[in-house]
Every structure is written in C-alpha cells, then in structure tokens.
C-alpha cells in the first residue's frame, strides 16, 4: 500500500504487504522488503535496505547505503546516517551517526 504523493526513485524493490504512508519519500535503488512499514514523512536516501517487517515511525530519515534489519523498529523523528547497519529486531531510540553498527533492544552501538 503506497499513499498518494510519495515520490519513489528508480530501480527500487517494494515487497508485498509493505505500507508507505503520506509524505514519505524513497530514493533510488532501495529495497523495502515484505511487510515493512514506512510511516508519514520518512525519508530514505539512495541504496537503503529495509528488512522484512521493519517499522519506521513518522519523520525518520535514513542516509545512503544504510541497512535496517528484519523486524527492527525506529522511533519517530530519528535521524540515521549513511552506511549504518541496524541489527534485526533492534529498537532504535537515538540518532545514529554515519558508519556505525547498532544492535539490541534498546539498540546500542556495537562498533
């Protein structure tokens, strides 16, 4: 399900049962896997991978080449930098700078 007025770039894969809500935007060459939820006003830069069942609450921004693992949850208003890895099942409550790896509930920096 994709809301009206959602700009979506080229070369993307959007899996079945995915929800992308109003005023979100998807860059180029992204993967939004099965049953992911991208809430209102979220912004995905180019080459972002969202795992199956992941949930991005409203106004989340994700930088280029970032991977969000299966069933991860990202709290509203969070900014995630470029080339970040978020482990499966993680719950992200804090902003994450470029190039870091975060895992757990609540998510903590691994390296």
What is the set of active-site residues?
40
Region label for 77, one of left (φ > 0), alpha (ψ between -120 and 50) or beta (otherwise): left
Considering Cα of 19, then 69, then 97, then 65, what sign does the dihedral take? Answer: negative
Query: What span, in angstroms and rounded, lies between the C-alpha atoms of 28 and 21?
Result: 18
What SS3 state is found at 21?
coil
């Amino acid at each position: 399900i994709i809301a009206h007025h959602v700009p979506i770039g080229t070369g993307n894969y959007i899996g079945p049962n995915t929800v992308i809500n109003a005023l979100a935007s998807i860059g180029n060459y992204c993967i939004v896997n099965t049953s992911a939820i991208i809430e209102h006003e979220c912004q995905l830069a180019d080459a972002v991978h969202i795992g199956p069942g992941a949930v991005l609450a409203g106004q989340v921004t994700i930088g280029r080449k970032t991977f969000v693992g299966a069933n991860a949850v990202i709290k509203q208003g969070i900014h995630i930098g470029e080339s970040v890895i978020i482990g499966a099942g993680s719950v992200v409550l804090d902003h994450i700078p470029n190039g870091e790896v975060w895992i757990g509930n609540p998510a903590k920096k691994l390296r």
